Structure 1
């Protein structure tokens, strides 16, 4: 960790005593303990430091109503006098600059949209500079969804600096090609502090070469867009979209009501360096279906406490790498690496650490891809043409090569966004369970895992293949890190293992790392994957065995929206079983089995669940049977304490009984838990 100190103190941003002991168990002292004053942009109020008088040759803009003022002259400087400036009462009253124009505010100059005007600065002019202005109250309620107030049209060459942009709807600032936003306070806006969007360009990034430097970005997403549009992924401090070349440095990103910094969809070649990212409700940095980034010398504190408690089914990390990684075929001039490198960062009391994840169902032209019309940079057409078929699990466009040829190379590889070549090295991770409001399984974890469902017959991928790839074959590694506190490590479907297991074969992670926390194997809350247990995402591993049919049914739900419906198809006994030989990974020891069952139709009064324990050679060690007696059309919970025998490595389930053709049994919320989690 001495390299971390050298990098940071040498950079001068987070300079502190050179003797700070990063590996020391005590958090007192050290460069990471105090936010530098230079990053407190909102307190420093540099937007008040504009010229007190009009620069020579500048056009004076008087305070008051500036509706009808000629702001469109090219090559001119406009100086806003002290006081409040408005643009009239029309929703599309706005400033449309000319090329190479400059807009400067005097101390006390305020541009106020009065919650009447949608946008402050718009149009296609290039090389515009805006500085020393307070910009507030643009937008009318939620009319500005996914739109920007300053540089609404994401035009090229804009420099925006020393701004105080607050209480605007949508994004305070939009970025276009070769744009810079720096030394600005972007606070309490409706959706984002900064965002960007330009229409897709076939085979190329829509936006290139942007700089986000020394801004304070806080309190954004005041309009709570995730609640307004469930799962929209459209909120937080900054949202980057389809950008090649971004330098994101020395920003103080905190207390946003969502993700801090979110790069989503075909972003390439990013540098996140020396940012202080703290107490955002969700993830600190989310790098999603994107490529080639360096995340270095950043501070992450207390992120994702809210999202970790709201969604306990997956980690809520400080850094989330989702279907993203390094690829040597793409640009790396800004990041300096064709890997995705996470190095020399400091993490303290985030809900969890770093998650590297891949959704087996997420590839271009799949309904598992939320960026519907986008494909990877390696497939032509990268823009998926109409018509679209959104009926799951069909392809969006059945003429696209990521449907017609996806089973063949290069499409099989290039139609996917991969989590690969992710290198996590030289970081310090601190976690105190008494400080973090932990809930669920994934508090205080590092994760390298994959999930999904084998439910698209035309897809050439399986969940087990993607899990194998991300863990063993994709070049992902954790090395040379320092851990303080009790950490867990998630792999496979997300099941957690101990430090010793994480470092041992077959995983072999954390070469050269140090750890001072508990090495006990963490209890497993459920050996079954989420869908097999709850049926919410798919039918999981359930399969008809004999004289039966199985379906994922809303009519069979105990909790949630779906459950397992078993129908008898032939007389003289029936059976269903898990179809993932030899079963789910588990270990010896005390277990609690629990589930809910009922008659879907009157008839099946009794049944039996068999629990099959197998060793690492897939040999059956023992079978335990749990009777389901006294079944009625009302839900009944069944629980049983069992001890998995010595040598257990896998568990599977079989369910059977008697019944007449057409009779139905419903089953839901099936759990095989280590007894400590019961």
Structure 2
């Protein structure tokens, strides 16, 4: 059937099995928001050279209908959507029909996602360009037994310039932008795509994706991560090139790495499919990384599991818990509160199999035989995490009913979950983040107890010993570590302090703080006007451990002063509620121009008889960063905690201060 150019609002597209040939020229549909082509089963839509279907910035969708086996090719499909109406909607294959083939099209300047994918879809040789939210996306509610979308192919597409409507700024923490997003898909081949210059993550697989292959893709210049694999399973990422990704997100979120590949609460599981990925693992191998903000980050949020407020994938649980979709949870931006009292991930989470199966784990991940290039004179670095590899976990021990602790999850991710970096080649000034995100040198990373990077090399590394405790720290060694004396620590109010050998995070001693009153307590460094310092990017950190009591959360306050002893700026970091295990808090801040000295104090609440320990206190220069004058500003106050997949990392709470 020939479709003439011009107004096609009266054309009869209701012909199942037909082939529609769109003549050269511009084609329009009805003059209302619901002007669309309702596809019929087994139908082909093909464009002549120069055939354009134009939504006039009025029609919401181009091709709709949940019918099978539709082919769309050789068309330009543009200008669908009206303003911001198409958030989380698709223009082509709006209803995620099965067996669709979308190929050799230009799908550009539409609101929402250019293409939605459904079961058995093939999207190849298209240009998905400058769309308001995504180049492509997909969603179908889960079905009994698993994913509703299976076996998709995304091959040889150019995916560029998407998220022109900047949805992250419109819906804070939505996690809903970038080149494209996969949601709850089983079996995907993502190959030979050029994914570049998107305003957000390049390729984002979020929530219960299983059995993926990313191969032969060229991923560059995306504002966010190149590939983000989040609360998902079993993937192979090989033979890709990733260049200059996450420069924007890395500088915007200084408390977290801006990695080229981000593996967030994702891992391998032998109970799930491996037909495409090839192994019950996540494997990252034989890729080339060049001047990304950071490298590969393996991360787990201790608070993120099925039935917790940390589960930002609204109402979803892991594939091992029935129901897959919790009925009580609406699909909106507010997770239900209180937590459902009848869900097994609340009532039974402390016992097996629920303790294991109610959470997403970062485990069985292998990063090997990759080449990592990093040039800090090219990458616009700021913060601690520019040019790092990361294997870490964060969170807060703030849910009394949760069997998971931050320390326990950190220990699993680092030592017990089968995560391994090995046989990689590094070029440039790389560092390595562990535990809560503390960065260490290559030699420390390779040594016990971490024992990572067997067979790897770092160009220019001469094996010099790691820094001495306190190196780069404005505090003197005894104040920081308590090893030889109590340093400058002194009581302030409602507290007593002493150097103690009862507990230590490192070495043999720590600072014991005993609470003597019920109305708050304070200790301070008695060395007015403080320790000498300089302006620039700094790290604030300390370790704490509970002795006796409950609800103790020591807060470290840092005041930056000028040469005339005027306070320029105040920063604070607060430890999570202390437990008998050592915990830490860390933040990256900018010491203001004119900073000459720094004053430090600890405060908090508690009851007489409570006590705790503090150790390894740092107010120091951040390694592997530029100073404040050249860092280009600090960006936003940390990575979002909500939305799909937060990279939780504590940041300083900065008090208002006059401009220096």
Q: What band does the TM-score fall into relative to the shorter chain?
A: 0.7 to 0.9
| Alpha carbons 1:172, 1:189 under 8 Å: kept | yes
Residue by residue over 1:396-431, the C-alpha shift from the partner in whole angstroms, topping out at 9 and shown as x without a partner, is 311100000000000000001000000001100010
Partners in 1 of 2:27 and 2:336 — Cα distance? 53
1:69 aligns to what? Answer: 11
2:530 aligns to what? Answer: none
Give the alignment partner of residue 154 of structure 1, picking from 89, 92, 96.
96
Q: Say if 2:226 is the partner of 1:284.
A: yes
Q: How does 1:571-582 map to 2 (within 5 A)?
A: 573-574=494-495, 582=503
Partners in 2 of 1:171 and 1:205 — Cα distance? 21
1:674 aligns to what? Answer: 620
Q: Say if 2:293 is the partner of 1:351.
A: yes
1:317 aligns to what? Answer: 259
- Size of the aligned set, in residue pairs, is 533
Partners in 1 of 2:236 and 2:261 — Cα distance? 12
2:147 alignment partner, SS class: coil
Q: TM-score w.r.t. structure 2 length? A: 0.74
| Alpha carbons 2:314, 2:333 under 8 Å: kept | no
Q: Say if 2:450 is the partner of 1:507.
A: yes
1:430 aligns to what? Answer: 373
Give the alignment partner of residue 183 of structure 2, picking from 222, 237, 241.
241
| Alpha carbons 1:364, 1:372 under 8 Å: kept | no
Q: Structure 1 residue 151: deviation in Å? A: 0.2
Give the alignment partner of residue 524 of structure 2, picking from 590, 595, 608.
608
Unaligned runs of 5+ in 1: 1-58, 529-567, 589-600, 619-624, 629-633, 640-648, 662-669
Give the alignment partner of residue 170 of structure 1, picking from 96, 109, 112.
112
Q: How does 1:96-495 map to 2 (within 5 A)?
A: 96-386=38-328, 396-495=339-438
Q: 1:176 to 1:390 in 2, by over 3 A?
A: closer
Residue by residue over 1:300-348, the C-alpha shift from the partner in whole angstroms, topping out at 9 and shown as x without a partner, is 0000000011000000000000000100000000111111000100000
Q: 1:387 to 1:62 in 2, by over 3 A?
A: closer
Q: 1:71 to 1:304 in 2, by over 3 A?
A: same
Partners in 1 of 2:286 and 2:395 — Cα distance? 32
Cα-Cα RMSD: 3.8
Partners in 1 of 2:329 and 2:606 — Cα distance? 47
1:533 aligns to what? Answer: none
Partners in 2 of 1:255 and 1:383 — Cα distance? 34
Partners in 1 of 2:31 and 2:451 — Cα distance? 64
2:64 alignment partner, SS class: coil
| Alpha carbons 2:383, 2:622 under 8 Å: kept | no
Partners in 2 of 1:325 and 1:469 — Cα distance? 13
Partners in 2 of 1:659 and 1:325 — Cα distance? 40
Q: 1:411 to 1:137 in 2, by over 3 A?
A: same
Unaligned runs of 5+ in 2: 476-491, 510-518, 528-540, 548-555, 560-565, 572-581, 586-599, 609-615, 628-660
Q: Structure 1 residue 125: deviation in Å? A: 1.7
1:314 alignment partner, SS class: coil
| Alpha carbons 1:609, 1:626 under 8 Å: kept | no
Partners in 1 of 2:264 and 2:440 — Cα distance? 21
Q: Structure 1 residue 201: deviation in Å? A: 1.8
Q: Structure 1 residue 97: deviation in Å? A: 1.4
2:261 alignment partner, SS class: strand
Residue by residue over 1:560-604, the C-alpha shift from the partner in whole angstroms, topping out at 9 and shown as x without a partner, is xxxxxxxx9xxx93469999x95666999xxxxxxxxxxxx9x99
1:217 alignment partner, SS class: strand
Partners in 1 of 2:256 and 2:374 — Cα distance? 18
Q: Structure 1 residue 671: deviation in Å? A: 7.3
Residue by residue over 1:648-675, the C-alpha shift from the partner in whole angstroms, topping out at 9 and shown as x without a partner, is x9999995799999xxxxxxxx972335
Q: 1:86 to 1:203 in 2, by over 3 A?
A: same
1:103 alignment partner, SS class: strand
2:399 alignment partner, SS class: coil
| Alpha carbons 1:610, 1:655 under 8 Å: kept | no
Q: Structure 1 residue 517: deviation in Å? A: 3.8
2:263 alignment partner, SS class: strand
Q: 1:267 to 1:578 in 2, by over 3 A?
A: farther
Higher relative contact order (CA 8 A, sep 6+): 2
